[in-house]
Amino acid sequence: MSTLKAYAVWDANISWFHWINLLCVLGLIAVGVVILNAKALSVATEGKILLKTVHVWIGYVFAANLLWRLVWAFIGGQYARWRAILPGGQNYVSEVRDYIADFKAGQPRQYLGHNPLGRIAVTLLLCLLLTQAITGLVLAGTDIFYPPIGSWITGWIANPGVDPATLVPYTKEMYDPAAYDAMRAFRKPFITIHYYGFYVLLGLALVHILVVVITELREGGNLISAMFSGKKILSETPADKKKID
């Protein structure tokens, strides 16, 4: 009979990152949906600026939280580091095959860190989150003139004789038409990536939740509660214990 054993896996930094990230993503999605439908909802210009301002401030928290997670992957605990997150390494392909085979057979291997497929998913999510953060910061500057590039944008598009520091969003009479058009052309690829990234992130988030539930039911390890307590409770010897140790 298998004996349950608790393992300390996720440190406080990882737990805080996870839940702050979740709240930020939910907030960004909610405000983003309203912004995308502002015209249909008859939102006035002042309302659009307020919505975008809220979106940007949530985005700052989101970006700072993500940046700390990326730094923590260099200096954090063994299961938080890049070597335990990124797919690859010795025998990785065979590990994926074995994990899938065991999962299908109803005897999934238990892991302290991310399982081989989970490492792929986490890497994709981190790349997508980073893409959204970078493009979002660019849009914050080109749309409502917020840092880090807002002052550069206002200096670019201000009409001659207009103090760039006085520029207000949606006041085209203060903008140099040619410079404004050039700025919008610069902005276009960033908003396209951010727009489609929004839908991809939404889809991946739903898949992530589904996979976590399925994995917890099939594999065990109390994945959800472990993000609160930092401890996984496993019934078998973890497949990655010796390798990461």
Residue with token string 């792929």: 120
| Model pTM score | 0.90
Residue 1 lies in a domain: no
Tokens linked to 225: 């509660």
pLDDT for res 221: 55
Nearest-angstrom CA–CA distance, 58 and 97: 40
Q: 101 is in which domain, residue-wise? A: 8-236
Any domain includes 124: yes
Q: What is the rounded CA–CA span in Å between residue 5 and residue 22?
A: 28
pLDDT in tens, 113-129: 888 988 998 999 999 99
135: CATH: 1.20.950.20
Of the pLDDT bands very low, low, confident and very high (cuts 50, 70, 90), residue 106 is: confident
Residue-level pLDDT at 236:
79
Beta bridge pairs of residue 4: none
Task: Give the chain as a 3 state SS string.
Answer: CCCCEEEECCCHHHHHHHHHHHHHHHHHHHHHHHHHCCCCCCCCHHHHHHHHHHHHHHHHHHHHHHHHHHHHHHHCCCCCCHHHHCCCCCCHHHHHHHHHHHHHCCCCCCCCCCCHHHHHHHHHHHHHHHHHHHHHHHHHHHHHCCCCCHHHHHHHHECCCCCHHHCCCCCHHHECHHHHHHHHHHHHHHHHHHHHHHHHHHHHHHHHHHHHHHHHHHHCCCHHHHHHHCEEEECCCCCCHHHHC
Query: What's the pLDDT score for residue 239?
Result: 81
Establish if 40 belongs to a structural domain. Answer: yes
The alpha carbon dihedral of 81, 213, 24, 149 has a sign of positive
Phi, psi of 89 (to 5 degrees): 100, 180
pLDDT digits (tens, 9 = 90+) for 143-173: 999 999 999 999 999 999 999 999 999 999 9
Q: Is residue 3 part of a domain?
A: no
pLDDT of residue 75: 95
181-235 residue pLDDT tens: 999 999 999 999 999 999 998 888 888 888 777 777 766 556 777 787 888 888 7
**In this model, does residue 142 exceed pLDDT 90?**
yes
Residues 198, 87: Cα–Cα separation, whole Å: 24
Q: What is the pLDDT of residues 46-88, one digit of tens each?
A: 999 999 999 999 999 999 999 999 999 999 998 999 999 999 8
Who has greater pLDDT, 9 or 221? 9
How many domains is the chain partitioned into structurally? 1
The answer to whether residue 204 is domain-embedded is yes
Nearest-CA neighbor of 66 among 114, 27, 13, 117?
13
- pLDDT score, position 32: 93
In this structure, is residue 126 part of a structural domain? yes
Find where tokens 């063994």 sit: 78
pLDDT of 211: 79
* Residue 2 resides in a domain: no
| Residue 26 located in a structural domain | yes
